[in-house]
Amino acid sequence: QLISERFGRGSRTVDLELETQIELLRETKRKYECVLQLARALTNHFYSLVQTQHALGDAFADLSQKSPELQEEFGYNAETQKLLCKNGETLLGAVNFFVSSINTLVNKTMEDTLMTVKQYETARLEYDAYRTDLEELSMGPRDASTLCRLDAAQSQFQSHKDKYEKLRADVAIKLKFLEENKIKVMHKQLLLFHNAISAYFAGNQQQLEQTLKQFNIKLKTPGAEKPSWLEEQ
Amino acid sequence: QLISERFGRGSRTVDLELETQIELLRETKRKYECVLQLARALTNHFYSLVQTQHALGDAFADLSQKSPELQEEFGYNAETQKLLCKNGETLLGAVNFFVSSINTLVNKTMEDTLMTVKQYETARLEYDAYRTDLEELSMGPRDASTLCRLDAAQSQFQSHKDKYEKLRADVAIKLKFLEENKIKVMHKQLLLFHNAISAYFAGNQQQLEQTLKQFNIKLKTPGAEKPSWLEEQ
């Protein structure tokens, strides 16, 4: 019956500022999900690229040994591909850290706040239902039986009002902390992403490794068959 | 019956030097096919990467506009991704030229020589068959009927010997020209591949474009929805 009240009849309690913030959070989450999806696609394509560069490096090295007349040409190509693989694996470590952090922000931190938002929205709906009940009873004729029902309605109204207000405060606080946390996390991750990508695509191995150190990213088992970053996907 | 002669009985005319060269060509072709396959895979992964970077650049640009608190961070990431797309498309032009040239070398030039090799091998088989026929007849008893058959066998032998020798000479010439052509093409393509890859992964847009100019590679319809390099695959 609460739902039917929402269509057309009945007044609705609106906290405009809070609802604007909630809508904004939902939109931000959608946009960050899109970035997350793209960053994962980037990781996958890049991983395939590095694997191919690895195989190509091997093929060139083999041909360099077996083609005296093109030994040098195959040789420098083999070395370039191998160097790119090494740098590529380092970059994969950085991009994977980016993906993992954005994933936590979107699917844990933001999701947690949106769970509270859902509780808040349910509490708002219930509160409005009991409020409407009370208002209707108050406007009706008063006798002993209605007075008793009025008392019960008043008590229901009050307890749901408290619950609603508590959750509204919870949501407001969570939104505030989330906003601070989001800015902190994204500031760090966007800086890392940019610095790692820039260093890699400028061929600056040293700066790339420096960036990983700066952000405390450790490359697990370098050179292992299946890079560790895949496990977290 | 020619085939049955090959198993066990019958002597076989062998041009050891030529057959070594043919075997070497077949092995080189296999190896180049492998490089071609890897270079195509590289192009595909790289193409996907560039597409993703394009989408990521757009997503960052959008977020930069709509996130006052992270405008700068999203902004420089958007610019980096867009710059990488531009360079990436240039590199794709170079790698595609490499793929196209190796494809011609392997599937046209080498294939053409191997067709002549097959004709040569058939001619060798036929020649050996008629040679064996003639030898067997020569060793048998001689009467009017065998003398007549000997004449015919002699003539068959001679015409197949001429055919065999002509094709052997053809193969030798083709192998010589192919070897020269292969070295010329591969020297150029391996240099292009190396210079383009090095320039790209050093973030040197100018050197990358210079490399394409040097090798007369024109990027068709830059910025078109479907890059032209895909058409040639």
- The answer to whether residue B93 scores a pLDDT higher than 80 is yes
Mean pLDDT lowest among A116-130, A165-179, A205-219, B37-51: A205-219
- The answer to whether residue A1 scores a pLDDT higher than 50 is no
pLDDT at B214: 87
* pLDDT-above-90 percentage for chain A: 70
Per-residue pLDDT, averaged over A183-209, amounts to 93
Both structure tokens of A203: 């061929």
Confirm or reject contact between A177 and chain B (CB < 8 A): no
The helix-helix angle for A205-214 and A71-104 (nearest 10°) equals 20
A-to-B residue pairs, Cβ atoms closer than 8 angstroms: 111
Both structure tokens of A205: 């191995």
Per-residue pLDDT, averaged over B135-156, amounts to 86
Quote the minimal CA–CA distance from B135 to chain A in Å. 42
- The answer to whether residue B229 scores a pLDDT higher than 80 is no
Per-residue pLDDT, averaged over A200-224, amounts to 80
Distance CA B121, CA B105 (A): 22
Q: Which of B34, B84, B193 sits opposite A201 (nearest CB)?
A: B84
Residues in Cβ contact with B59 at an 8 Å cutoff, skipping those fewer than 6 apart: A31, A34, A35, A38
**For A2-58, what is each residue's pLDDT tens digit?**
555 556 566 788 888 999 999 999 999 999 999 999 999 999 999 999 999 999 999
pLDDT at B3: 59
pLDDT at A4: 53
Residue A207: its chain B contacts at CB < 8 A? none
- The answer to whether residue B13 scores a pLDDT higher than 80 is yes
pLDDT at B215: 87
- The answer to whether residue A229 scores a pLDDT higher than 50 is no
Burial, B142: exposed, middle or buried (Cβ in 10 Å; 0-12, 13-18, 19+)?
exposed
Instruction: Give one DSSP letter per residue of A74-91, joined into a string.
Output: HHHHHHHHHHHHHHHHHH
More confident residue, B2 or B96: B96
Q: Give the predicted TM-score (pTM) of the model.
A: 0.85
CB contact under 8 Å between A62 and B31, yes or no, is yes
**For A176-193, what is each residue's pLDDT tens digit?**
999 999 999 999 999 999
Mean pLDDT lowest among A178-187, B90-99, B209-218: B209-218
Confirm or reject contact between B60 and chain A (CB < 8 A): yes
- The answer to whether residue B228 scores a pLDDT higher than 70 is no
Distance CA A70, CA A142 (A): 104
Task: Decide if A35 contacts B60 (C-beta within 8 A).
Answer: yes
Using alpha carbons, list the distances in angstroms from residue B10 to B18, B94, B161.
Answer: 21, 53, 17
Helix or strand holding residue A227 (H, E): none
Task: Decide if B74 contacts B63 (C-beta within 8 A).
Answer: yes
Per-residue pLDDT, averaged over B12-26, amounts to 92
pLDDT at B217: 83
pLDDT at B225: 44
Query: Residue type at B213?
Result: K
Quote the minimal CA–CA distance from B20 to chain A in Å. 15
Confirm or reject contact between A130 and chain B (CB < 8 A): no
Quote the minimal CA–CA distance from B74 to chain A in Å. 7
CB contact under 8 Å between B52 and A45, yes or no, is yes
CB contact under 8 Å between B48 and A41, yes or no, is yes
Distance CA A85, CA A88 (A): 5
Task: Decide if A182 contacts A105 (C-beta within 8 A).
Answer: yes
Q: Which of A60, A70, A198 sits opposite B187 (nearest CB)?
A: A70
Per-residue pLDDT, averaged over A203-210, amounts to 89
Confirm or reject contact between B39 and chain A (CB < 8 A): yes
